[in-house]
Every structure is written in C-alpha cells, then in structure tokens.
Amino acid sequence: MGDNNNKYVILAINPGSTSTKIAIFKDEENLFQKNVEHSAEELAAFPDIPDQREYRRDMIIDAIAEAGFTISGIDAFVGRGGGLDPCEGGTYKAEGLLLEHARTCHAARHPATLGAVLADEFAKEGGKPAFIVDPPDIDELEPVARISGLKDFPRESRFHALNQREVARRAAAELGKTYETSRLVVGHLGGGVSVAAHKNGRVVDADDILGGDCPMAPTRAGQLTTLDVAKLCFSGAYDQKALLDLITKHGGVVDHLGTSDMQEVSQRAAEGDEYAALVFDALIYQVAKKIGAYAVALKGEVDAIVVSGGITYSDTVVSGLRSYLSFIAPLFVYPGEFEMEALANGALRVLRGEEEAKVYTGRK
C-alpha cells in the first residue's frame, strides 16, 4: 500500500432495505455496477437482518462472476457501514469492535450493517484489507451545536454522511482546495433531505433526519412544532408506531399531495396545480432556510454551497435555491448520488497512503 503507481481493484458493497448495490472499481474507474433487488417474500424468510448475510453474500458472488470477476481478483473490499456508536468521519478498518457492533446491529437495525460484515468475509478469503467509509453514525457536532431545549435530549447528527462528504470533496477540488481546508454547507435532496455544515474536514453541525430535525422531504414531515406533536400523541388517533410512520414515512410531500414522486409534483405544478406548486416551493424554501442557518454556524465564512441528490436534477429546484442563496456563496450542483464512488474513493485514499484508516473504538 502507498504506491501511487499501483492500480487497485476495489469491490464496494452497499446493502439496502430492498436491494444490494455492488460496484467494482479500478482506481476511480467504474468497471461494473449492479443493483440487485430483493423481494419482500425473499427477505421475509430471514428472522433478522444478520440472518441475511449468507443470502446476500451468495448473490454478490453470482453477480460479479456473471460479469467476469472473481473475489480473488479484488485488492480491497469496502462496505456501507452502520449500527455503530457515534464516531468521526473517515475510512475505518472493518475489524474488531466495529464488526461486533455491525453483526449485532448495535446502534441501528438496518441492512447497511451487513456491508462491513460482508467486506470482512470476502477480504479474509484472500488476505486483503476491508473497510467502511463515512458511516451513517458520523457525529462530529461541536459542543454548542449539541445543546437542545431539554437537557436530557441533546441534539444528534444523522444525515446523508457518505454522499455529502463525497460531493463536498468534489466541490473543494473545483475550488482548488482540499476538503480539509474548506468551509462548505452541503445539502442532500433525495428521498430524504439533510443539510450540514462542513468545516475544515469535520461536520460541525448537521440535521438529525431520523429525529425530524430537517426540512420537509418527499415522505418525511421534517421539523414540526413540539406542541403540535404533543397534541398528536394524546389525540387518541395514533399509537406510537402509527405516529412515527406518519412523521417518517407518510409525511412531507406525500401527506400534502398524495405522491412522493417529485417529478409528478413538478409536472402538476407546471400544469397549473397551484397547491402542488406551493408545496414544491415550500420544500425549496425550507432547504434554503436550513442552508442559511448553517451558513451562520460557519459565521458566514462559506467557500461554497453544495447540493446533491435526485431532486437536484430539477432546474426549478436549482434556480429556486440560487435565488435564495446567491448572496451567501457560489452554488455547486451534483445531481444524483455518489455512494458507490464514495465507498471506493475512501478505500482508495487509504490504499494510496493519502489517508490513514481509523480504528473504531465505540462510545467514549
């Protein structure tokens, strides 16, 4: 490792709730990518997430074999992380306590935890290294950002860490800087929406998308007044699960318009649906307000505003954000998501000796 003349073949593994994304890179070049869908019936056969390991492992082997690759031809393996205690961002070795927490879904029950387990399993077959990169558990909030209005409920950081940090690095490079010397406000606008303040390589303030501390999204309510939530809790209309589903699965755009398809919303607005246009504008407005708040967290010293995610394919969204934010900093737009590239690039930086892999130690 550390020889920049080497070409590294890297397998990236990103297990999701209903699919497993895999990709093979040679350095930055994407040689192969596939998204394998899993039916509800297939997944129902497994009592718990860790029980899916062998099923997803065999599927990955079959998929890469069909494309003409073998596990023995891979130089490093990198998986989507998760299930960990709050930790710093970066590339981590998939070993020790990290694997134990991933195997047991220690802090979160999500298939992403299998990424580390599978990367380690494949790596051990050939004595190769295994990593995870920028897991969802990243929490680098500054102390002042952690205080909420109730002492027993400190703010936590749950945002689209992997994609946000990847596009932040890309924007920094366009600025002629490094991520570690840049001050950026970054937003991810996709099925979920999150915004964060990136200061010299650390995410010093960020949304908590699981907790609802975020703008409205296609299926998430986002920020609500606490009194309204309290009324819902004691209305008798919802049990705990139904209320959580309302806020996190059936809220936001779908609650207003009956659809979470933002292309459909845009089309309805263009055809004269005034309420669809208003809700669409409200989403843009809320994102812009949050970006402005995080610009304040950086004391106005913002090199760039960076947005990514599927919603940013919309010219209406981009132009709307520019109209609100042009006075703060230039806007960089990277439509779509770059999670597979982010995983491979994180491993590649370590293999090239540009970054040292971190060791996960759990909650301090």
pLDDT, mean over the chain: 96
pLDDT digits (tens, 9 = 90+) for 298-325: 999 999 999 999 999 999 999 999 999 9
The rounded distance, in Å, linking the Cα atoms of 330 and 333 is: 10
β-sheet with 76-79: strand ranges across: 29-37, 19-26, 9-15, 76-79, 130-133, 91-93
Overall pTM > 0.85 = yes
Rg (CA), the chain: 21
| Other Cβ atoms within 10 Å of 145 Cβ, number | 18
Residue 1 has pLDDT above 70, yes or no: no
pLDDT digits (tens, 9 = 90+) for 86-141: 999 999 999 999 999 999 999 989 999 999 999 999 999 989 999 999 999 999 99
* Structural domains present in the chain: 9-137+340-351 (3.30.420.40), 143-329 (3.30.420.40)
Q: What is the mean pLDDT of residues 71-83?
A: 97
Q: What is the mean pLDDT of residues 137-166?
A: 96
Distances (CA, A) of 260 to 7, 223, 264, 328: 42, 18, 8, 30
Distances (CA, A) of 82 to 78, 115, 299: 13, 8, 32
Tell me, what's the pLDDT at 210?
86
